[in-house]
Amino acid sequence: MNALELEIKKAGFLIYLFMKIESIDFFYLSMPEVLDIGDGSQDALLVRIRAGGLEGWGECEASPLTSIASYVCPMSHSACKPLKYSVEGKSINSAEDIYRITAEVKENSPDLLQADHTLSGIDIALWDLLGKRLEQPVYKLLGYQRVYPKLPYASQLFGDTPEETFKKAKHTASKGFKAVKFGWGPFGKQGLEQDIAHLHAAREGIGKDAYLMIDAGTVWSEDHNEAALRLPALKEVNAYWLEEPFVNGALEAYKHLSEATPPVALAGGEGCNNFVQAQAMINHAGLRFIQIDAGRIGGITTAKKVADAASGKGITYVNHTFTSHLALSASLQPYAGIEKDLISEYPVELKMLAQEIGKEKIVPDSNGYIHVPEKPGLGITVDTASLQKYLVDVDIKLNGKQIYYTPQL
């Protein structure tokens, strides 16, 4: 190596040592047709962050256009700044840098409601980037020395009829899943008798030994009496939990139902978009399971904080994931090292878009367990070539001046 080459190498090394965020790009992807069903894998908002010759990827579990607007909008006042204010050009060399960026978003954008959903994808991409830079899986950067297998539950919608629910249950059980969740669809909307029929159909379909989770999809809003009518049937079919009977944060309704009989364990929290909301659910809702979507709560940083808080209160942390395996990897990292938190949501009805996001898949092993990826970052390579066909070009102008245009994917 001659002197010039040595200087170039040293300069490159210094650039690498002191990485700053060079670009943050959002990609709105959508299926050609989005159906009015509870399937969140029909569109996606990916975030790509580049620095020092590397790139990290994240995914917001959020309205793509609204989140992009929150990133580029003009400042309204000191507490309502666009996300870009807290992110662009910042250093990204250690976990502390990510914590600092999260804290700055909280300080600069508390009055921008969409901010936490947008931050989620950014935070996930930052962890992926940092993991690649430090050549470590994200969970190690979070402080976990070892990780534990998780038992995936096949997460899917109820059938339109109890017969269809039975068929879906049977089919899922035949694929080897030891835990199955049914949710949304007609549940709670066609009367008590029909709900009971769906519950029994689900149990019969999966067999008596599998875990059965039921997701009410907030259908009873805040009405704990209506929800309580389903408790006997839930007990009869040995439901492992009843999820989201009420809107997120309805502490009173949750608490009432948690004390009703027969007792059925409650799960909730996917709608939380910051730490204190999750903390309120942990402390005041009578939950047994707290479910966190890293793509909504502010990313891996905040999800990890919730996992720690839940452990401290003896509540089981569960990921909430209904999109890609990039999102699944991000959702697993925050609690990958907590052995007692065994259960993991695993979507099995993904649209092609969500299937094509990640080249690598997180699939159950021969014992039916899944494992957090061991590769640097999130361990999922985004398949940009396959995703071109789903890309939605976004063009936003204010007073004739373009403030956002979709970059090259």
- The site for a second copy (CB under 8 A) is made up of 28, 30, 34-40, 42-43, 61-66, 68-70, 72-82, 106, 110-114, 116-117, 184, 217-218, 221-222, 247-252, 271, 273-274, 276-277, 279-280, 283-284, 296, 392-400
Angle (nearest 5°) at CA 132 between 131 and 133 = 90
Rounded to the nearest whole angstrom, what is the least distance from the CB of residue 406 to a second copy in the complex? 10
Q: How many residues does the chain have?
A: 409
Closest to a second copy by CB, 271 vs 379, is: 271
Rounded to the nearest whole angstrom, what is the least distance from the CB of residue 398 to a second copy in the complex? 6
Rounded to the nearest whole angstrom, what is the least distance from the CB of residue 127 to a second copy in the complex? 21
Quote the CA–CA distance of 208 and 387 in Å, as a whole number. Answer: 41
Rounded to the nearest whole angstrom, what is the least distance from the CB of residue 189 to a second copy in the complex? 11
- Rama region for 328: left / alpha / beta (φ>0; ψ in -120 to 50; rest): alpha
Closest to a second copy by CB, 365 vs 393, is: 393
Closest to a second copy by CB, 138 vs 330, is: 330
Closest to a second copy by CB, 40 vs 52, is: 40
Q: 396 exposed, middle or buried (CB, 10 Å; 0-12, 13-18, 19+)?
A: middle
Q: Which two tokens stand for residue 66?
A: 């609204």
Closest to a second copy by CB, 175 vs 313, is: 313
Quote the CA–CA distance of 45 and 24 in Å, as a whole number. Answer: 13
Closest to a second copy by CB, 111 vs 374, is: 111
Sequence-ordered alpha helix ranges (H) in 285-357: 300-312, 325-332, 352-357
Rounded to the nearest whole angstrom, what is the least distance from the CB of residue 158 to a second copy in the complex? 13
Rounded to the nearest whole angstrom, what is the least distance from the CB of residue 308 to a second copy in the complex? 14
Q: Which two tokens stand for residue 312?
A: 């401290």
Closest to a second copy by CB, 45 vs 380, is: 45
**How far is CA 57 from its chain centroid?**
14
Residue with tokens 């949710």: 183
Q: Are strands 23-30 and 266-268 parallel, antiparallel or unpaired?
A: unpaired
Quote the CA–CA distance of 212 and 152 in Å, as a whole number. Answer: 12
* CB 378, CB 57: distance < 8 Å: yes
**How far is CA 300 from its chain centroid?**
9
Closest to a second copy by CB, 145 vs 399, is: 399
Rounded to the nearest whole angstrom, what is the least distance from the CB of residue 160 to a second copy in the complex? 14
**Cis peptide leading into residue 373 (ω within 30°):** no
Q: 191 exposed, middle or buried (CB, 10 Å; 0-12, 13-18, 19+)?
A: exposed
Rounded to the nearest whole angstrom, what is the least distance from the CB of residue 223 to a second copy in the complex? 12
Identify residue 34 by its one-letter amino acid code: V
Rounded to the nearest whole angstrom, what is the least distance from the CB of residue 159 to a second copy in the complex? 16
Closest to a second copy by CB, 81 vs 288, is: 81
